[in-house]
Structure 1
Amino acid sequence: MTETRVTKKNLERFICRVLSTNGLPEDDACTIAELMVTADLIGQDGHGVFRLAQYVKRLKAGGINPKPVFALAEEFPASAVLDGDNGMGHLVMNHATDIAVAKARQTGVAWVGSRNSNHAGPASLYAMKALCEDMIGLYVAVGSANHMPPWGGTDMLLSTNPIAVAIPAAERPPIVLDMATTVAAYGKVKTAAQRGEMMPEGWMIDRQGNPLLDPTKSAEGFLLPIGGPKGYGLSLVFGILAGVLNGAAFGRDVVDFNADSQSKTNTGQFILMLNIAAFTDPAAFRSSIDDVWDEMKSSQRLPGIAEIRLPGERLDATLKDRSVNGIPLPAALLAVLDDLADANGVARLERQAAPA
């Protein structure tokens, strides 16, 4: 598979150009571009520039409000519900996270939910904003399309409903858990289809219960939950907390933003910030996380296991590599981006790779 590496700066500029051309104020477009490229930098390839064409399609069709006016629908000292006015999800959750951080500085713990939001990229994008604030971040979202039935059923009533938790360390990389409640996020199915790859057995089954391996036929089946009925239970509860609690879409009300470009998705999310200083000394806590890291890494290993890894370890390595060497984009995605540039009358993405 042919890939070309591009720089963070060039990719951000390209995304900002495309979004600005489609009605977003330049500052907002560039904020979204930075967040989208961060997704690519940390290896969340299914949630970065890969999604740009779909965002543009929804902007053009009126499915997303390019100039939202945010409002707090509910507010208490340690919590709030942000109405995103159908704006880009990245803007909604970026603002919600800022509110949560500010509240957590005062109250120790803060929970901010959203309604009338949209797809906002990977869950870790917002949980990780806690890391430079001496906080722990936890993010949950209702997925932007239903791809999973309740355990034992066939009606698509649940989504991947992801969760991310980011915990700062001192000298070691942060611990960052970012997972869907399905075995694979649907974005991975879409990227596999674009790359011409087959899916591993265990990601999806068809409606007769047989393994589904061809990602281009994903509509013929559904994603499987992690841990069988336990993953179903997590998806259900996360959907209630991020969707129902905020007055956002859940169950049959979830709009498939891939198939419907015009309807409001009313996506729900929440961000929880824990101010470490409200519990213990932040420096001591970070040092303790280093100890946890070292203890896990030094565990005796099973035969054939070369290394114990912690959540966020690969993310950290990917971020370091791509920050220096550029972001790899497959040929198929570059062709889509070139077509997108031509259709919107903006300059194509520059191909110069970052210096090695």
Structure 2
Amino acid sequence: MLISESKLRKFTLDIFMAMGCSEDHATLAADVLLRSDLRGIDSHGVARLSGYVRLWEKQRINTQPDIKIVHESYTTATIDGDAGLGLVVAPFAMQVAIQKAEKYGSGWVSVRNSNHFGIAGYHALMAVEQDMIGFAMTNASPLVAPTFSSERLLGTNPMCYAFPAGKYPPVVVDMATSAAANGKLEIAQRAGKQVPEGWLQDNAGNFTTDPFALKSGGALLPLGSDKEHGSHKGFGLSATVDILSGVLSGAGYGPWVPPFVAFLEPPANPPGKGIGHFLGAMRVDGFRPAEEYKADMDNWIARFKSAPTIDADKKVIIPGEPELEAEIDRIKNGIPLVDAVVNDLNELALKFGIDTL
């Protein structure tokens, strides 16, 4: 089913308003989710909306948070999100990072006591709009087993780096540090399909293609799949995200990060508060004149795009290109939603007394 951006945006805004968000917060939260759907990252868009509602019903999301800086220096800050929507808390934090970068050249902000913040790319691209390099990462509920382990200790822990360019679109490296994002399992579950080997292990540590394996004690694998294919590198990247997002900020970390699903209770006696994020912004002209940098970025992009390929039907894909192509198409033609997501959203509409899709 194809739904126009405007219709889906209003629907999402109405749901957040019905949850008690201010109009400003509801508008921002809807924008973060819609940007995900527009960019083709269907796992983190409106398909997540019912998850936020269930957490709010469990009083684990505060729709009227007092988001504030609790510690700072000239170039750094720590923010307490007051259990607010990460979709609102993370943009607040990035604005702080940008303001510090404007004055001092760079800004770095850690966040505690937050919730799921949507796609990392949304927040990193806020810096790009100001001619800055943007960084965004977050820890997440433990679904990933470290190399050689059967215990789920890390989240999918995404990280994003966004680099402005000149005549070309920005280079956006937005990825999970696990072999696959949990949202891709949800997509496979809704479609009734198996997942590729190397994404998951069962509770005995063996490869499985069952997208429901997490429900029977299995685990996602780090980026690299297993030790023979470099999973220790994915483990290291995920650990970096967890430490910067959780340990540095005073948020939960490792097995103490609260689950996104409402039917699971948060871990007892956590060492920190909620989910953690880490965001940063660096002024390009703090290193060299911005126009010189952009000229070299354009040259970098052009050179990589011109690289010969093994398959004549393939091309070198610059990070961020597929998402931009999806955004252009979906703004024009609408956002595709599978029946399971449409049904889920229409149930929310009936719950809150708003128009169905």
Give TM-score, length-normalised by structure 1. Answer: 0.93
1:246 is paired with a residue whose SS is coil
Q: Which consecutive unaligned segments of at least 5 residues does structure 1 have?
A: 350-356
Other-structure match for 1:354: none
Instruction: Give CA deviations for 1:306-332 in whole Å, capped at 9, x if unaligned.
Output: 211111110111111111111111111
Match for 1:272: what amino acid?
Answer: G
Partner residue, 2:26 = 29
Q: Deviations over 1:165-208 (max 9, x none)?
A: 11111111211001111110111111221222221111111123
The aligned length equals: 345
Distance 2:241 2:5 in 1: 33
1:35-184 paired onto structure 2 within 5 Å: 35-143=32-140, 145-184=141-180
Partner of 1:249: 252
Deviation at 1:299, TM superposition (A): 1.5
Q: Distance in 2 between matches of 1:234 and 1:39?
A: 23
Supply the distance in 1 between the matched residues of 2:258 and 2:123 (Cα, whole angstroms).
23
CA contact (8 A) 1:62 1:262 kept: no
**2:314 aligned counterpart, secondary structure:** coil
Cα deviation, 1:109-163, whole Å, max 9, x if unaligned, reads 11011000100101111011122100010111101x1111221111111111111
| Distance across 1 between alignment mates of 2:336 and 2:297 | 31
Quick check: 1:212–1:218 contact (8 Å CA) kept in 2? no
The structure whose RCO (Cα within 8 Å, separation 6+) is larger is 1
**Cα offset for 1:239?**
0.4
Three-state SS of the structure 1 residue aligned to 2:212 is helix
C-alpha separation in 2, matches of 1:261 and 1:19: 22
Q: Which residue of 2 aligns with 1:226?
A: 223
Task: Give the CA deviation at 1:20.
Answer: 1.1
Pair 1:345-2:342 in alignment: no
- 1:323 equivalent to 2:326? Answer no
How far is the alpha carbon of 1:301 from its aligned partner? 2.0
Q: In the alignment, what sits opposite 1:239?
A: 242
- Measure how far apart 1:259 and its partner are: 4.5
Tell me which residue corresponds to 1:301.
309
TM-score, normalised to structure 2's length? Answer: 0.93
Q: Please report how far the alpha carbon of residue 212 of structure 1 lies from its aligned counterpart in structure 2 after TM superposition.
A: 1.7
Query: Equivalent residues in 2 for 1:198-217 (5 A)?
Result: 198-217=194-213
Aligned to 1:7: 4
**CA–CA distance in 1 between the matches of 2:264 and 2:2?**
30
133-142 vs 283-292, which deviates more?
283-292
| Alpha-carbon distance in 1 for matches of 2:193, 2:295 | 42
Q: Which amino acid aligns with 1:53?
A: S
In 2, the alpha carbon distance for the partners of 1:323 and 1:282 equals 30
Structure 2: which amino acid aligns with 1:11?
L
The question of whether the paired residues in 1 share the 8 Å contact of 2:121 and 2:160 is answered with yes
Query: How much does 1:255 deviate?
Result: 1.5
C-alpha distance in 2, partners of 1:15/1:277? 38
Q: Report if the CA contact (8 A) 2:101-2:107 is conserved.
A: yes
Q: Cα 1:303–1:13, aligned 2, differ >3 Å: closer, same or farther? A: closer
**Structure 2 unmatched ranges of 5 or more:** 225-230, 268-272
Which AA in structure 2 matches 1:48? G
Give, in whole Å, the separation in 2 of the partners of 1:249 and 1:24.
25
1:16-45, Cα deviation, whole Å (9 max, x unpaired): 111111221222112111111011111111
Whole-Å separation in 2 of the counterparts to 1:225 and 1:217: 15
Task: Show CA shifts across 1:62-85 (max 9, x none).
Answer: 111111001111111101001000
**Letter of the aligned partner of 1:233 in structure 2?**
G
Contact 2:58 2:262 in 1 (8 A): no
> Cα deviations across residues 240-285 of structure 1 (Å, max 9, x unaligned)?
1110000000112111121546659711001110111111121221
Cα distance between partner residues in 1 of 2:322 and 2:200: 25
Q: How far apart are 1:216 and its partner, in Å?
A: 2.7
Paired residues of 1:63 and 1:262 also in contact (CA < 8 A): no
**AA matched with 2:102:** R
Deviation for aligned residue 1:305: 6.1
Q: Aligned in 2, Cα 1:259/1:155: closer, same or farther, shift over 3 Å?
A: farther
Supply the distance in 1 between the matched residues of 2:151 and 2:207 (Cα, whole angstroms): 18
Counterpart position of 1:17? 14
The 1:305–1:203 alpha-carbon spacing in structure 2 relative to 1, beyond 3 Å, is farther
3-state SS in 1 of match to 2:135:
strand
Matched to 1:250, the amino acid is: Y
Say whether the 8 Å CA contact 1:164–1:178 is kept in structure 2: yes
